[in-house]
Amino acid sequence: ATVNDILTAVLGMCLRRVYEEANDTAALTHRGVRVALPVNIRQPGENATELRNRIGSRVVRLGMQYARRADAVWRVMRQTTFFRFSPLMRIEETLASVVVKIMPPFLLVQLIREMNFKATAVVSNVSGPSSAVHIGGNEVKGIMFYGIGPVPLYIG
């Protein structure tokens, strides 16, 4: 399991505890909380200095029903391993670059909203650039935004 797999599973364990303490049986018996995770889709050795991100997003279910904590980690790891090694992310990126150019804006907005309602939260530990970035001759000290759509919770 990666560090991200473990941290995502720990988040699920913490949420399970909150739900247990609140006696929220609906959350515990449902199929779990869904979180959207950004995934780096750059190929090994690909030039990472270009000014555009190459990330995709995947929804992972944080299972609330597990016997051992290791089971929660395995559940997350099975899901993330599948999309980490699947060509699906790159295919989606290619299709999205075409769709954005031809789809009417009102339909594009509707599609983005629909996609984002599949997740309860967005979880991210995406780091910034490893060296200083300048815009208009001024160093960017820090910037953080996630402007795709209405997600009720952001953890990052």
pLDDT in tens, 18-33: 888 988 887 777 666 8
Residues 6+ apart with CB under 8 A from 122: 35, 36, 38, 146, 151, 153, 154, 155, 156
Average pLDDT over every residue of 45-71: 76
Residue 130 located in a structural domain: yes
Residue 127 located in a structural domain: yes
Average pLDDT over every residue of 71-92: 85
Region of 68 (left: φ > 0; alpha: ψ -120 to 50; beta: rest) is beta
Query: What is the reported pLDDT for 155?
Result: 54
Domain that holds residue 125: 3-86+119-139
Work out how many domains the chain is built from and give that number: 1
* Mean pLDDT for all residues in the chain: 77
Residue 82 located in a structural domain: yes
Record the pTM: 0.65
Average pLDDT over every residue of 66-93: 85
C-alpha Rg value of the chain to the nearest Å: 18
Strand order in the sheet with 55-62: 55-62, 33-40, 121-123, 154-155
Amino acid (1-letter code) at residue 121 = A
